[in-house]
């Protein structure tokens, strides 16, 4: 790439920069550039997208239709036994994930598929026959082989899965017939329920037979154990009532009686001892009466007190010798004597009661000792009794357990349901599941977009043609001078009647003329020293070089500047053929000294442009452009004209272009838009720089401005829609 040019040509534009001051460190591509690339390659994108969409549409139209139907089976939780249910709330046990996974394997098993094939008669269905011919009196082995093949084909068409983390198992069947798909899904669900119901019935029948055969033996064992226990009780006197043996009941009663007798004896001894202590302490019998709670003594004590009170009153009134006092003393003595007799009688009675109570206690103690001896004998026999009792209890418990199972099995027959049910049967589908039109359409759209963009990127990568201002500045490192549009692209809905070099004269306000004025400005309005000799070169033929040179020369002439166009392409002399017509071109004669300059200059018929051309019949074998005479001629033209425009042959392949370009003040290299490769332009630049030519930059020709931003978003054609009112085409 070219990071710089010869001195005097202005500042070179390094790679990665542009006149708009774009940041070379930008991390993301410019979306405007991508959009411009897409617009340039819109037909490539549409072609690839159309091919993909057509392929998807063809597949949707031709692919066989398949329908899917789904039946749901609910694996129910295990509840309480309906036969043994009590008033307490029952607890349901949810099925575990392992159990549900096991049921899925059962549903998806070959045995289940074979039962569905048999139930629906799918062995003769072409879709599930496994590629075998129809059965016509086949043998048992062949029939089994057909059944296995159909079952395997059916398993491939059925998907059994768990619905999320629920207890619902979904059975999805796919078939070419919508009705067949629903039948298969429902048949699988029914076959599964029938299988678990049959397995449960078989297990219940087997269990009932085993229980009933064992029940008779257990009943006999229980009766034998109870009889042995009763015989042992009778033999060892262990008969009982209300949960206790007779010896235990007798001992308990004696213990209660003995405790009462002892309490009575203690009470009576206490009363007797209290009375004696009162008498020993000289209580006079008063306290004894109080201790013994005697009513008689109480009445006598009241009479004694009354007599003592009367005697005191008599003494106070009559003195101690009054006869009434003697009578009262005699009465008081009689009362006291009666009290003492009553106390003696009570003490004697208490003594007798103590003796009677003591005799009763002794009798009860003797009975207790006899009862305890009998109880000790029963305790020794109780060891054997307990052993027999445990055997009897165990025999009765086993017999009762088997009896309960037998009763429960008989009661559950016909009402016990399997632990699964059909949550929702499969319905006949209306829309086919395959091909999935929506999914394929979405995928087709995505693939069309992706592969279309990939095709655009590939076309952009493969096509090395130069297209934009960024290509010139960033990839070539050259200055961008402008773009010359293809005249036809500037005339929407109009027919091109004039050649480009004539159109610039007849339509000076057109966008085509404005593009040439832009080139003129890029070449002449740069630097302090205005170039006078301008060489127009191209890397290859048919890149619009001659047309651009003529249009540029006429544009300079139309601006009022004296301009001469020198046709230095002595081999093709296209400019001379266009402008001179039947007039002779004497350029080589002037260089050879055979003609004067004034006689060789020809006036353009439409403008003030002067042409120095080459005749088509010139066959001079001398390489006159390589002589010093060319430099003398250009010096003479520089003195007479403000601008000298030279049309040269292609740079690559012909040395004349480099020789002529070396004499020019500035060189404009043309490249055909989207046709000339970057490598070709780069080679031409290298050759011009090696020839010491003062290259001003690169301009693009034959640009189709109908394609948005055809030369980049920084060029004027990106804004053509906003300024098209200024142009007159």
Could you read off the pLDDT of 279-304 as tens digits, one per residue? 777 555 455 554 456 677 778 878 88
Classify residue 210: in a domain, yes or no. Answer: no
CA 133 to chain CA centroid, nearest Å: 46
Answer with the residue of higher pLDDT: 548 or 375.
Answer: 548
Question: Of 389, 551, 575, whose CA–CA distance to 486 is shortest?
Answer: 551
Omega before 435 cis (within 30°)?
yes
Residue 672, beta-bridge partner list: 701
* Contact assessment for residue 580 and residue 617, using Cβ atoms and an 8 Å cutoff: no
Listing DSSP states for 103-160 in one string gives HHHHHTSHHHHHHHHHHHTGGG-TTTSTTPPPPSS--HHHHHHHHHHHHHHHHHTEEE
Same domain, 482 and 582: yes
Whether pLDDT at 363 is above 50:
yes
Residue 138: band (very low, low, confident or very high) from pLDDT cuts 50, 70, 90: low
Same domain, 452 and 312: no
Please provide the size of the chain in residues: 729
Same domain, 660 and 518: yes
| Tokens describing residue 578 | 């266009």
Same domain, 678 and 604: yes
Classify residue 654: in a domain, yes or no. Answer: yes
Long-range Cβ contacts of 246-253 (<8 Å, 24+ apart): 247/371, 247/374, 247/375, 247/377, 247/378, 248/375, 248/378, 250/371, 250/374, 251/368, 251/371, 251/372, 251/374, 251/375
Same domain, 445 and 492: no
Classify residue 92: in a domain, yes or no. Answer: no
Residue 525: band (very low, low, confident or very high) from pLDDT cuts 50, 70, 90: confident
- The strand ranges marked E within 456-529 are 480-485
Classify residue 235: in a domain, yes or no. Answer: no
Residues in contact with 588: Cβ distance below 8 Å, sequence separation at least 6, in sequence order: 570, 614, 618, 620, 624
Could you tell me how many helices (H) and strands (E) the chain has, helices first? 22, 14
Last residue of a domain, one of 459, 493, 526: 459
Last residue of a domain, one of 459, 492, 522: 459
- Angstrom distances, CA of residue 458 to CA of 52, 444, 470: 17, 20, 19
Q: Where are the alpha helices (DSSP H) in 175-319?
A: 178-235, 246-280, 286-292, 295-318
Kindly report, residue by residue over 229-276, the tens digit of the pLDDT: 788 777 776 666 555 566 667 777 878 887 888 888 788 888 778 777
Residue 161: band (very low, low, confident or very high) from pLDDT cuts 50, 70, 90: very high
Domain count, the chain: 3
* 643 SS3 class: strand
Same domain, 508 and 451: no
Same domain, 439 and 534: no
Identify the pLDDT of residue 11. Answer: 37
**What is the rounded average pLDDT of the residues 564-577?**
90
Residue 283 main-chain phi, psi, to 5 deg: -75, -5
Same domain, 407 and 303: yes
Same domain, 443 and 334: no
Classify residue 355: in a domain, yes or no. Answer: yes
Identify the pLDDT of residue 15. Answer: 35
Same domain, 443 and 516: no
Instruction: State the Cα–Cα distance between residues 568 and 721, nearest whole angstrom.
Output: 39
Identify the pLDDT of residue 307. Answer: 82
Same domain, 527 and 672: yes
Residue 34: band (very low, low, confident or very high) from pLDDT cuts 50, 70, 90: confident
In whole numbers, what is the pLDDT of the chain averaged over residues? 81
Classify residue 512: in a domain, yes or no. Answer: yes
Instruction: State the Cα–Cα distance between residues 378 and 585, nearest whole angstrom.
Output: 160
Long-range Cβ contacts of 82-85 (<8 Å, 24+ apart): 82/412, 82/415, 82/416, 83/407, 83/408, 83/411, 83/412, 84/404, 84/408
Kindly report, residue by residue over 379-411, the tens digit of the pLDDT: 666 677 778 788 888 888 887 887 887 777 666
Answer with the residue of higher pLDDT: 526 or 135.
Answer: 526
**What is the rounded average pLDDT of the residues 301-327?**
80
Question: Domain range spanning residue 452?
Answer: 37-63+435-459
Same domain, 482 and 517: yes
Classify residue 186: in a domain, yes or no. Answer: no
| Tokens describing residue 353 | 């009661």
Whether pLDDT at 9 is above 50:
no
Answer with the residue of higher pLDDT: 105 or 436.
Answer: 105
Give the containing element (helix H, strand E) for 73.
strand 67-75
Residue 619 main-chain phi, psi, to 5 deg: -125, 30
Identify the pLDDT of residue 19. Answer: 43
Check which CATH number belongs to the domain holding 634 and give it.
3.40.50.300
The structure's pTM equals 0.50
Classify residue 161: in a domain, yes or no. Answer: no
Whether pLDDT at 7 is above 50:
no
The percent of residues in the chain predicted with pLDDT above 90, rounded, is 32
Question: Of 269, 265, 463, 248, whose CA–CA distance to 372 is shortest?
Answer: 248
* Contact assessment for residue 420 and residue 192, using Cβ atoms and an 8 Å cutoff: yes
């Amino acid at each position: 790439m070219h990071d710089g040019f010869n001195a005097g040509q202005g500042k070179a534009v390094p790679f990665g920069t542009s006149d708009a001051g774009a940041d070379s460190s930008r991390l993301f591509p410019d979306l405007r550039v991508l959009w411009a690339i897409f617009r340039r390659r819109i037909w490539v994108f549409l072609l690839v997208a159309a091919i993909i969409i057509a392929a998807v549409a063809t597949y949707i139209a031709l692919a066989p239709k398949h329908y899917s139907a789904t039946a749901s089976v609910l694996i129910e939780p295990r509840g309480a036994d309906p036969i043994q249910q009590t008033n307490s709330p029952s607890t349901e046990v949810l099925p575990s994930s392992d159990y549900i996974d096991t049921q899925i394997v059962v549903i998806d098993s070959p045995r289940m598929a074979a039962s569905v094939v048999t139930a629906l008669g799918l062995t003769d269905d072409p879709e599930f026959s496994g590629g075998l011919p129809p059965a016509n009196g086949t043998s048992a082995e062949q029939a089994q082989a057909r059944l296995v093949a159909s079952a395997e084909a059916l398993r491939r068409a059925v998907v059994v899965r768990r619905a999320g983390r629920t207890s619902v198992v979904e059975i999805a069947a796919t078939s070419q017939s919508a009705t067949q798909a629903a039948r298969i899904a429902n048949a699988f669900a029914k076959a599964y329920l029938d299988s678990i119901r049959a397995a449960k019935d078989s297990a219940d029948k087997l269990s009932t037979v085993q229980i009933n055969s064992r029940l008779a033996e257990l009943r006999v064992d229980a009766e034998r154990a109870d009889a042995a226990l009763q015989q042992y009780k009778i033999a060892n006197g262990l008969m009982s009532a209300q949960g206790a043996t007779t010896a235990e009941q007798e001992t308990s009663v004696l213990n209660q009686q003995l405790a009462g007798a002892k309490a009575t004896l203690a009470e009576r001894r206490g009363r007797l001892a209290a009375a004696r202590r009162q008498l020993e302490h000289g209580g006079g019998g008063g306290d004894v009466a109080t201790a013994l709670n005697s009513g008689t003594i109480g009445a006598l004590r009241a009479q004694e007190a009354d007599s003592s009170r009367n005697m005191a009153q008599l003494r106070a009134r009559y003195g101690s010798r009054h006869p009434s006092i003697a009578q009262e003393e005699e009465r008081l003595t009689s009362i006291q004597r009666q009290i003492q007799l009553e106390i003696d009688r009570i003490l004697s009675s208490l003594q007798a009661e103590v003796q009677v109570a003591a005799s009763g206690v002794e009798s009860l103690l003797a009975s207790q000792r006899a009862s305890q001896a009998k109880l000790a004998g029963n305790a020794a026999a109780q060891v054997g009794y307990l052993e027999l009792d445990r055997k009897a209890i165990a025999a009765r418990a086993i017999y009762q357990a088997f009896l309960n199972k037998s009763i429960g099995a008989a009661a559950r027959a016909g009402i016990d349901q399997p632990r699964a049910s059909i949550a929702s049967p499969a319905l006949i589908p209306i829309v086919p599941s395959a091909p999935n039109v929506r999914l394929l359409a979405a995928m087709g759209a995505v693939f069309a977009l992706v592969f279309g963009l990939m095709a655009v990127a590939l076309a952009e990568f493969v096509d090395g043609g130069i297209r934009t201002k960024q290509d010139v500045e960033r990839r070539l490192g050259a200055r961008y001078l402008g773009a010359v549009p293809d005249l036809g692209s500037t005339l929407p809905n109009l027919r091109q009647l004039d050649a480009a070099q004539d159109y610039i004269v007849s339509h000076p306000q057109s966008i085509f003329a404005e593009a040439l004025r832009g080139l003129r400005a890029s070449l002449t309005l740069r630097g302090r020293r205005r170039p006078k000799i301008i060489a127009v070169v191209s890397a290859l033929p048919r890149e619009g070089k001659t047309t651009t040179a003529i249009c540029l020369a006429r544009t300079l002439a139309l601006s009022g500047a004296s301009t001469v166009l020198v046709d230095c392409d002595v081999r093709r002399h296209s400019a001379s053929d266009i402008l001179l017509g039947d007039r002779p071109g004497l350029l080589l004669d002037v260089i050879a000294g055979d003609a004067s300059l004034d006689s060789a200059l020809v006036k353009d018929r439409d403008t003030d442009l002067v042409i120095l051309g080459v005749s088509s019949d010139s066959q001079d074998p001398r390489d006159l452009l390589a002589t010093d005479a060319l430099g003398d001629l250009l010096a003479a033209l520089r003195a007479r004209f403000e601008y000298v425009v030279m049309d040269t042959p292609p740079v690559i392949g012909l040395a004349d272009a480099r020789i002529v370009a070396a004499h020019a003040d500035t060189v404009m290299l043309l490249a055909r838009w989207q046709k000339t490769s970057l490598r070709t332009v780069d080679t031409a630049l290298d050759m011009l720089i090696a020839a010491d030519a003062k290259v001003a930059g690169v301009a693009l020709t034959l640009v189709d401005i109908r394609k948005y931003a055809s030369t980049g978003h920084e060029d004027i054609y990106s804004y053509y829609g906003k300024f098209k009112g200024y142009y007159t085409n």
